Amino acid sequence: MIICGSRFAGAGLTLVAAAAIASSSLAAPCAFAELGDGHVSDIVDARSVRLSDGREIRLAGVEVPPPEQRAAAMDALGALLRDRDVVLRGDDDAPDRYGRQRAFAFVAGADQPAQSELLRQGAVLRGIDLPDRDCALSLAAAEAEARAEQRGLWKIGTVIKNAESPDDILTGVGLFTVVEGKVLSVRQTGTTTYLNFARSWTRGFAVIIPKRMMAVLEGAGIDVKSLANRQVRVRGWIEAHAGPRLELTQSAQIEILGGR
C-alpha cells in the first residue's frame, strides 16, 4: 500500500515519499537472491524475453500496457535487453504454469533492474507481484516519475480509467487496468467486502475484497472501512459482472491518494 498525493487523469501524480524511501534505503532495489544468468536472444512480448539456452523469462513486477502501446513496449524492452548478458534475481526460480521463470533482470554490472528503467520510460505498468515492500516502493517511484513527466504510455490521458465511467472500464475486460476514483461506500455481503465507486452497486465499478485479504490489508496499514469517501487508485484484471469488477489479491494493488 502506498499513500500519495493525487492529480487526476493520470498525468502529474507523484510519489515523493516513496521515491525518498526507495532512494535512501536501497542502493540496489529488488536485488534478491541470484537465480542464474544468461544471454537475451529474443523479445517474446512486452514483459518477457528468451535466453540463448531456451529459457523464457517473465519480468517480475511489471505488466503489459494497453494494447495500442504494446509494440512500443516491446521496442523499449528490446533496446534495453536484446543481445545483452543479464543476471536474474528473485525469491523463487520455479517456473510458472506456462514454463516461464519469473525474475528481475539486471544487465551485467547494473545495480537497477531492467524493470525500473522500463517503468521510468513509461513503457510498462507497475505490476502487483512484488514480494518485497522496498522493491514495491522503488518500482512505484519509477512509474510515478514517468507519469509526472508524461513519458511513454503516460502521454495518453486515458491510461488511468475513471471509476465514474464503467462502460469505458468494461472495454478492458480481462486486461490489466489502472482505475482511479472516489469510494462512495464500503459494504459487506457475506464474507466479501465491496468498495463501491457508484450509487448503483450492480452497474457501477466496484472492488472485490475476499475475506482472506482483510487481514493482509490490515497488516499493510489499510483500514478498509475508512476508505469511504477517499480517493484511491487500484490496479488489476477487470472482470465483467453486471458492472466492471476488480478483485484484490495483493495489497500492492491499492494506493490511497491524498485527496478526499
Please name the residues in contact with 5: beta carbons below 8 A apart, sequence gap of 6 or more. Answer: 13, 14, 16, 257, 258, 259
Task: List C-alpha distances in Å: 235 to 43, 91, 108, 169.
Answer: 25, 23, 31, 12
Give the residue, 149 or 91, on which the prediction is more confident: 149
Q: Is the pLDDT of residue 26 over 70?
A: no
Measured in whole angstroms, how far is the alpha carbon of residue 118 from the centre of its chain? 12
**Residue 259 pLDDT:** 57
Nearest to 178 by CA among 160, 164, 205, 154: 160
pTM metric for this prediction: 0.86
Alpha helices in 114-178 (DSSP H): 114-121, 133-149, 166-170
- What CA–CA distance (Å, rounded) separates 51 from 38? 6
Question: What are the structural domains of the chain?
Answer: 33-154 (2.40.50.90), 160-257 (2.40.50.140)
What digits encode the pLDDT tens for the residues 118-146?
Answer: 999 999 999 998 868 889 999 999 999 99
Nearest to 60 by CA among 146, 119, 144: 119
- What CA–CA distance (Å, rounded) separates 41 from 49? 8
